[in-house]
Amino acid sequence: MSDTTAEEKSKPREPAKKGLHGWKAALAVFGCGTLAAFGVFGVVLALLGTLVSSISQGVAPEKENSVPPVVDSVEPREEFLEDKFDLCAIIDSISAAGLNLEPGYPEPLDKGFEGGSPSQGDLVRSGECSGKVLLGSAQYDPLDFYFSYRSIVFHPMDGKDDVSREDLELWKSEFEQTEINISQSGPSGFMDEAYYFYGIPGGGSGSFYHLVSRKRSSVISMHLSSPQEVPISAYQGAVNKFERRLDEDLNGYIPE
């Protein structure tokens, strides 16, 4: 990674707020009366029904204050916007993910494919960052979070997507060889191709979830862990909140 420390990013985003999402209040009308007052009561109900119908038709549902919708289909750009492509900054902007990155993480590192200086038609960008992810439940403490990526932006020869497939297999193999207790693992539907690992860290307690994934010519890894026994479903729910934005930007920012 670069030895140059990035300028401190904007102040950490506040954790995602808790609360109900999308629920609407139901209207109920209760009444009582004698048989003698039945006719009057029916008129009252009719008037109330008309009033409620008018209000329902005239007032639009309140929208949530959330992240702007992501475009369903983004075509690759013809040229690389290098000042925009910082995956750590991108994931830090996903408010729904509950991510708080540590400030001052390194800027992206640019190299040539063989490790030398980058040049026109030969650029590999990589980066890493860490922080905490809030699960939105008082039952669990914030998860430790580590993220890294390697994107082949330009390759001297054709087939940069194939090279990233090899990178994915390499990252997968490297993690499998670590001395940890993997209780579950297998393919994942995250982006184009992915593998997940779930188990107990090397210390013998707690839990972790590790994901390696590929989108076109980019490979990313996410590692989340906790001293608590967090179920795999909670980890998967946290990771899935990053997918849509990463899928869009890795498809749109990397030229063909």
Q: What is the pLDDT of residues 31-49, one digit of tens each?
A: 333 333 333 334 333 444 4
Same domain for 191 and 120: yes
- Tokens 């087939």 sit on residue: 159
Residue 30 has pLDDT above 70, yes or no: no
Contacts of 181 (CB under 8 A, 6+ apart): 199, 200, 201, 202, 204
| Chain-centre distance for alpha carbon 139 | 21
Alpha helices in 59-176, H assignment, sequence order? 87-92, 160-176
The phi, psi pair for 215, rounded to 5°, reads -135, 110
What element of type H or E holds 42? helix 38-58
Residue 50 lies in a domain: yes
Same domain for 123 and 32: no
Provide the pLDDT for residue 114: 80
Could you tell me which residue, 155 or 98, shows the higher pLDDT?
98
Q: Two tokens at 11? A: 């102040």
Residue 152 lies in a domain: yes
Same domain for 32 and 91: no
Same domain for 211 and 113: yes
Provide the pLDDT for residue 186: 97
Contacts of 19 (CB under 8 A, 6+ apart): none
* Domain housing 170: 87-252
Residue 127 lies in a domain: yes
Same domain for 92 and 34: no
Domain containing residue 128: CATH number: 3.40.1000
Same domain for 99 and 33: no
Same domain for 129 and 53: no
* Least-confidence region, from 26-30, 36-40, 226-230: 26-30
pTM of the predicted model as reported, rounded to 2 decimal places: 0.68
Integer-rounded Cα radius of gyration of the chain: 25
Average pLDDT score over residue span 185-205: 94
CB 124: neighbour CB atoms within 10 A?
22
* 154 pLDDT tier (thresholds 50, 70, 90): confident
Residue 149 lies in a domain: yes
How many angstroms separate the CA atoms of 244 and 95, rounded?
Answer: 13
Q: How many domains does the chain have?
A: 2
Residue 233 lies in a domain: yes
Provide the pLDDT for residue 89: 93
Strands 143-154 and 109-111, bridge-based pairing: unpaired
Number of H helices, E strands in the chain: 4, 8
- Judge contact between 147 and 91, C-beta under 8 A: yes
Same domain for 117 and 47: no
Same domain for 104 and 51: no
Residue 237 lies in a domain: yes
Residue 101 lies in a domain: yes
Same domain for 154 and 54: no
How many angstroms separate the CA atoms of 7 and 42, rounded?
Answer: 70
Q: Two tokens at 59? A: 């007032």
Average pLDDT score over residue span 57-68: 36
Same domain for 45 and 131: no
Residue 67 has pLDDT above 80, yes or no: no
Same domain for 172 and 45: no
How many angstroms separate the CA atoms of 121 and 112, rounded?
Answer: 9
